[in-house]
Structure 1
Amino acid sequence: MFLAIDANFRLRNRMTSNHYKSPTLGDGWAYLVPRAAYEEHILRYVNQEEMSSCSGFAAMFLANLKNVKGLRVSGVGGICCGRHRVWRANGLGDLQRGERYCNMDFIFWSTVHGEEYLCIVVSYDIACQWSWNFWSRMDDIDPSIRVKYGEGQIMFLVPKFHLRAHQASCQADYSFNYAPGVGHTHGEVVEEGWAQSNKAAGQTKEMGPGTRAMTLDDIFGFANWRTIENLDNVLGKRLLNAIKLFDEHYVDFNNFHAGLIVNVGETVLAEWDDMVKAWDNDHTELCPYTMEEDGDEGTHFKDMELKLARQEHSRLASGLPGHPSSLCVFVVEGIMLGEVQRGIELFITVNKYMIPTQDLELQRRRTNLLKCITHFRNLQCLLMPRLADVISEEDMERIENSDNEKPEQIKLFLPSECGTRSARIRACVGELPDVESQLREAEALDALQGVRDGLRARTGSSRFKMQNVMGQVGNTRASGILRQIDLRIHARKIRYRLARDVLLRLRGHGDWEQSIRELKDADWELKEGTTDDPDYIDAVRVEYCKSKACLDRSKEEVQLLCEELRRMMEYSLWKAEWWLSRRLGGEGMLSIGESVTAELADGLNSYALQQVSIMKNRHDHLDKTWTPLIEHAKKVLNRAPDISTLSFELKDKERSDADAQRAETEV
């Protein structure tokens, strides 16, 4: 069972009426939790604060930061299926004062307490915080939850997009990529659901409590109907893509595995497999997906960014005057924009003769870059107010009349580009040049680690190519992989050199050059890893474990999608039998049948039989359309020799017939 949890602070409600004037009909019968039990539970935690979070996402703090005076409800907490975006029964609850444990705990309990599952995978953007003391909080609501599931049967993960903003300690422990059994689930589907319901935020904000509750039940019920109506097409398309992806990963991993047997030996690979199993069972064990000493590329920069952010917070907390905007955020944005500019330039260099698809990608990247530069210029006016006094008229003309057709060539003018130290102090507010200096040092260290990782990856790939790859097709593919590795090494080399040059301008010559030395081509071309190098072995181990996890998730995705399609067929048959039993005189309908007229009974039975026909026809359609694909998928997973090519024509039911999109896909 996959559950996606999130809070939405747009679905607010003003205190314009009361429950006496605007009662709820069918309280707790649909998607909102029962009001009386919910309010009784919330009253026990009046003084509970919002959940803290290790992530950089600030949505959870908006309820306290913004004016909530006159609001009955500051938002809504919701739970939906983590794979199909189907809203759960009793899976929605009003938030009175931000996103608190007491609210989210009760909503979670309400939607699972009457059911039983072998395992529940919970996707929550602050799962790293919410999972702490989870079982003790559940004991306060319903001790049977612990007995029913046990602490090992609920898995807490962070959605893939949100995970990037969490601390380094969360990156592996709460990652979908390394969790067994989840396939390619990303956990972000609840955000898609909010995008639909938010269209009614303005109308429901002014409604009475009962009218609003019934309106929200209708909105989420309609969203579920639209999702289920087109679900077989969605799952079918996903299965087609998953089969292709698994086949590619299977071939790549087995070739990689064969090469590692030659280079490091089967004993070492068996140790790495045992290491993965031990970590899966207990995350306090050594993580196989991270290097023991250096850590992942980007760790130094993130740590420095966090350090500077805490310094700014301490400054404001102590009562010292603040700056118009965050110094750290401004410099980080400038550094990232420079990286994007170099990426676009490299893309143009590599693809001299572009096809329309590549040209379209280039235009989109340029448009996004231009929007970001516009935002950067607004911050620059606040944090570098005297920039015009320290740069030439020609450079000022470049800022005011930039070449918007080629934004990758626009000069950003960070503090390091303002000439002398006195000019930087004059142009910038506060310690802006020092902030850039610290971030550039972290950037250089990360880039150097990236060069090292790239060289190790190229060494292993080159050896594997020479020892195992034969034929034109294999060599072409292997050469393409090596080319991509070389491009990454080149990009990191340029980034390191640029960061070091900036440090030299900001600091001058000094002791820092002992750890951040000048990088020449002769240095990084010759120092490739060997099988006797512990760092090389460590890097190969991380790459092997990640590759194996990628293959496992691809296989699980195919298995999950096959089972989901099979269950859709079984559900259609069960629903047909259920409607058959709803005929008057049938099981469970005997007493009702005695109190209706013959005409009404005939109408009710006709409707039930119509539904039986609809569900049986749906089963037949699903069976005819998807059973061949499911059988084909099983053959691919088992690597059967008699695999034939299948062709499918898919139609999106959410569109009209005139706008229907058909895609012929072969697997």
Structure 2
Amino acid sequence: MWSPHGIHQDVWGSVKPSYNRWKYSLIIAIDANFRLKLKNRGFKDSPLGDGWSYFVPSIPYKAHVAQHIEQPEISNCDSTFRAIDHANTRSNEGLAATGVAGVTCARHAINRANGFGDLQRGERFCNMDYVVLSTLSGTNVKKLILSYDIACQWFKNFRLRISAYPEKMQLNMDEVETDAGIPKLHCKGHGPKCQTCWSFNFIKGSARTCGESIEQIWSGHNAVSMSTREMTPGSRQNTIDDHLGAWNFRKVIGLGKYLLSLLQEAVPMKAKHRAILSELRLSLDGDLVDTWEAMIEEWDKDRENKPDPYAEEDKTCGMADVRLEILKEEAADAVAGTASLHEMTASVFLTTGLDLEDQQRVLRKKGKGAKGASTQYKSAEMQQKRNTLQRRIFNWYKIQNIYMPGAVFLRAEVSPTDDDHSGAQGPETIQLLFPSQVSEAERATICSPGLVVKEFRLRVAQCDDALHQIRRLLRIRSNLWHYKRGQVFGQRSSTRARTLIARFDERIQRIAERYRAARAALISLGQPGDWSTRFLELTPGDIQGPRGDDEAILQPPAPLPQNHWISEGRRDFTWIWLSPNVQLQGDAETERREVNEGMRVKYCKARARAMRWEEEVELVVEEMRRTIAFLEWQARWWRSQIGRRTDLSSPSLESGLIAYALKQSDIKMRLAQHFSNLWRPALHKHNLPNEFTHIVGSQPVSQAPAGHVVEVTAVDTDSGASDDDEPVFE
């Protein structure tokens, strides 16, 4: 068996300083596999050594499950995973076991002793609780982190459910610090609250643990499911135990390259994200950063009730807000005796023009799409839309002549063949001539007072609205892609799904054009403000979903690899997800608060990324030390078994047992030496602790008890190599 985690109570108390104790946490992953079924063929047999290996003891396990047949388990999480909801509806006709529940080490994907058990009726809490408590029984652990795809529901009443188990299986929850998270890939299917409260990216002391290790084990054992489902219960359990043991052996001998790869990735990522965080801190107010740090500390202690530092309240200050504010100002002007030039106020005149601008964009898009079919473009429906838009524009011109005297002459210069009646140009190509579309000198002479400022405010709101809508549509499109990947099958259904997603792509592109036009207007108006730093140039590469794993990015600058995925720990958001929604009007305190809220989320996530990578470096080094220490202990343990059997009458049998023990001891020492040689250069290069890699050579095999002839053949660690180029031991 392999024990990469766990620490004795006396050792735990001696760890100084106390904040280093997180390195001795036990992190386990929990899940169920519904492919490892067993048909009910009426055979009754018992496995060899029931409960001695990876499966829990059958008799007490079945007795416990039988007491919780009607256990209510209803989920109120807005997750797309329905393990709980479907537990009581999953078909179990003709099956003795509907699957297998398992518990593994979340860091190294190593199976735990007594951490597996058959499922009788779906993935119920009573099954999962039993296998978790069975594998933890007798473990001197002080901090426990559990990974489960429905942890947000399963962990809520975990402490209460423990009380129903035998005392020897119960955990002392007053002494054991417990935490839980949702595996990173599964977390994407949960709601916004779960994606922060239960994310391993924000769990202190979890390092870069993804929590998905048990999925690797299931994928490695699914191939055997077709044969084990036809076996008798005892034979099936023995077979799965053998495969779980073989998996563990390969994982142990592969720890050398695995831990080295983790270290080689973590060291540069730690430096990168620490530099990003330092640069961000220098640009922020120190007192504000201290406030956010205190907020994170409080949230770490109570994630359920304290304010979430990683979540931003969905506040927008869009067109509707600015229109209402300007209308209130115009109403106040009317009360004060300042009469409007027309019954249609200036703000209504401008917002009507912005609506016409949007209609022009829609019509131009339809016109481009119809160039290959001129008859469609000249159809009655299309012509009717063009005529309607043209009438609206000409009516708008009449109001423009009041608020922008002289605009009629500018229109004649821009398009001499077009006037208020001829419509020689297509209405989708006519320039409306907003104040932003004329020169600064012309604005000073033809625009009524305050018109330029009002357009500026509306354009800022238009940019804010456009960014908000782009983000919202990208979220929807990302969810649609994920739904299509996992739930849509067949050509007909796939075509419909693609058509729906294409509609969202068109809307996103149209809104992106609106943003670019509004930003160009702001540049032309040249009014002071922070808009120039908030509203950056929107390139096709900036229009990416929040997950960074959409199947198609709008006009990507370069082809993306298949199954492209950017995790939270490596994420570098495009600027549209970092641009805060700032309220330009209103009291200064409200404006400052909303800006700070957007920066808080950015800072907190950057801090979390930096801390997780720092923890990863420390934890990997500790795991290397722990691996060497365990292998050395195991080598000594095998040698200590020599001479324990005093009931042997055959000298040859006694010599064989001694030879076996010496061989196993030699294998462990050679493996420890191999890992040490592999890790020492990298640890020395990065100035990390490496004292534990200097191993004293193993005791020679010839040092056996006197009177015994021992022949041991050990495979040289430098000559034999498996498919993973790791040492092979016989």
- TM-score when normalising by structure 1: 0.62
Task: Give the C-alpha shift of residue 612 in structure 1.
Answer: 2.2
1:51–1:99: structure 2 CA closer, same or farther, 3 Å change rule?
farther
* Alpha carbons of structure 1 residues 525 and 167: separation in structure 2 relative to 1, 3 Å: closer
Q: Which residue of 1 aligns with 2:75?
A: 52
Shift of 1:627: 3.0
Identify unmatched segments of 5+ residues in structure 1. 296-334, 341-364, 384-410, 418-435, 465-481, 500-520, 638-649, 661-667
SS in 2 for 1:45: coil
Question: Relative to 1, partners in 2 of residues 1:371 and 1:563: Cα closer, same or farther, differing over 3 Å?
Answer: closer
Paired residue for 1:622, among 675, 688, 699? 675
Describe the SS at the equivalent of 1:3: strand
Aligned length: 471
Contact 1:233 1:652 in 2 (8 A): no
Partner residue, 1:270: 290
The alignment partner of 1:566 has SS state of: helix
Matched-pair contact (CA < 8 Å) for 2:116–2:131: yes
Report the Cα distance in structure 2 between the residues aligned to 1:558 and 1:598, rounded to whole angstroms: 51
Q: Match for residue 600 of structure 1?
A: 653
- Provide closer, same or farther for how the CA distance between residues 165 and 373 of structure 1 changes in structure 2, counting only shifts above 3 A: closer
Structure 2 residue aligned with 1:289, among 288, 310, 318? Answer: 310
Take 1:413 and 1:200, find their aligned partners in 2: how far apart are those partners? Answer: 39
Residue 136 of structure 1 deviates from its aligned partner by 1.2
Distance 2:301 2:669 in 1: 43
Contact 1:247/1:636 (<8 A) preserved: no
1:214-265 CA distance string (max 9 Å, x none): 11111111111111111111111111011111111122211221122xxxx2
1:542 aligns with 2:567: no
Q: State the match for 1:313 in structure 2.
A: none
Instruction: Write out per-residue CA displacement over residues 165-223 of structure 1, whole angstroms, 9 at most, x where no aligned residue.
Output: 11222121101011011111010111111011111111111111111111111111111
The answer as to whether partners of 1:116 and 1:148 remain within 8 angstroms in 2 is no
Change in CA separation of 1:463 and 1:29 when aligned onto 2, cut-off 3 Å: same
Aligned twin of 1:613: 666
Contact 1:236–1:626, Cα closer than 8 Å, also in 2: yes
Residues 195, 374 of structure 1: alpha-carbon distance in 2 compared, 3 angstrom cutoff? closer
Give the corresponding residue for 1:13. 38
From the superposition, tell whether residues 582 and 224 of structure 1 become closer, same or farther in structure 2 (CA, over 3 Å): same
Equivalent pair of 1:81/1:88 in contact (CA under 8 Å): yes
Q: Partner residue of 1:40?
A: 63
Give the direction of change, closer, same or farther, for the CA distance of 1:549–1:49 in structure 2 (3 Å limit): same
**Are the structure 2 counterparts of residues 282 and 223 from structure 1 closer, same or farther at C-alpha, using a change threshold of 3 Å?**
same
In the alignment, what sits opposite 1:514?
A: none
Secondary structure of 1:72 counterpart: strand
1:557 aligns with 2:616: yes
Equivalent-residue separation in structure 2 for 1:550 and 1:461 (angstroms): 29
Q: Which amino acid aligns with 1:619?
A: A
Unaligned residue ranges in structure 2 (runs of 5+): 1-25, 317-472, 523-528, 555-575, 691-717
Structure 2 counterparts to residues 631-642 of structure 1, below 5 A: 631-635=684-688
Q: Does 1:115 align with 2:139?
A: yes
The answer to whether 1:154 aligns with 2:207 is no
Which protein is bigger by CA-based radius of gyration? 2
- 1-structure distance, mates of 2:530, 2:151: 37
Query: Within the alignment, does 1:378 sit opposite 2:488 as a pair?
Result: no
Q: 1:572 is paired with a residue of what secondary structure?
A: helix
Letter in 2 for 1:617: R
**2:246 corresponds to:** 222
- From 156, 165, 175, the equivalent of 2:189 is 165
C-alpha distance 463-596 of structure 1, shift in aligned 2 (>3 A): farther
The equivalent residue for 1:301 is none
CA RMSD, Structure 1 to Structure 2 (Å): 4.6
Q: Note the C-alpha offset of 1:651.
A: 12
Shift of 1:597: 2.1
Which amino acid is 1:269 matched to? V
2:628 corresponds in structure 1 to: 569
- 1:205 partnered with 2:229: yes
Helix, strand or coil at the partner of 2:67: helix
C-alpha change, 1:525 and 1:221, in structure 2 (3 Å) is closer
Q: How has the CA–CA distance of structure 1 residues 293 and 562 changed in structure 2, closer, same or farther, with 3 Å as cutoff?
A: same
Q: Is the 8 A contact 1:32 1:89 kept in 2?
A: yes
Confirm or deny: 8 A CA contact 2:475 2:545 kept in the other structure. no
Tell me the CA shift for residue 70 of structure 1: 1.1
- Residue 378 of structure 1 aligns to which amino acid in structure 2? R
Aligned to 1:132, what secondary structure does the other structure show? coil
Deviation at 1:376, TM superposition (A): 7.9
- Taking the TM superposition and a 5 Å limit, the aligned residue runs for 1:83-102 are 83-102=107-126
Give the 3-state SS of the residue equivalent to 2:81 in structure 1: coil
- 1:132 alignment counterpart: 156
Equivalent residue letter for 1:93: G
Q: Which moved more, 1:544-553 or 1:53-62?
A: 53-62
TM-score by length of 2: 0.57
Answer 1 or 2: which has greater helix percent: 1
Alignment CA distance shift 1:244-1:377 (3 Å):
same
Code of the residue aligned with 2:315 in structure 1: it is D
Determine the C-alpha separation between the residues in 2 that align with 1:488 and 1:204.
Answer: 49
C-alpha distance in 2 between matches for 1:151 and 1:187 = 24
Q: Deviations over 1:334-392 (max 9, x none)?
A: x879958xxxxxxxxxxxxxxxxxxxxxxxx9xx99999995851378x8xxxxxxxxx
Tell me the secondary structure at the aligned position of residue 583 of structure 1. Answer: coil
Q: Show CA shifts across 1:499-538 (max 9, x none).
A: 9xxxxxxxxxxxxxxxxxxxxx9xx999898995322211
Rounded to whole Å, the distance in 1 between the matches of 2:531 and 2:290 is 21
SS across alignment from 2:164: helix
Alignment-mate amino acid for residue 109 of structure 1: L
**Conserved 8 A contact 1:226-1:654:** no
- How far apart, CA to CA, are the structure 2 residues paired with 1:488 and 1:280? 35
Question: Alpha carbons of 1:607 and 1:376: their partners in 2 closer, same or farther (altered >3 Å)?
Answer: closer
For residues 483 and 199 of structure 2, the distance between their equivalents in structure 1, rounded to whole angstroms, comes to 29
CA distance in structure 2 between the partners assigned to 1:6 and 1:619 by the alignment: 32
Q: Check whether the contact 1:63–1:74 (CA below 8 A) recurs between aligned residues.
A: no
Distance 1:115 1:551 in 2: 31
- Aligned-pair CA distance for 1:292: 3.4
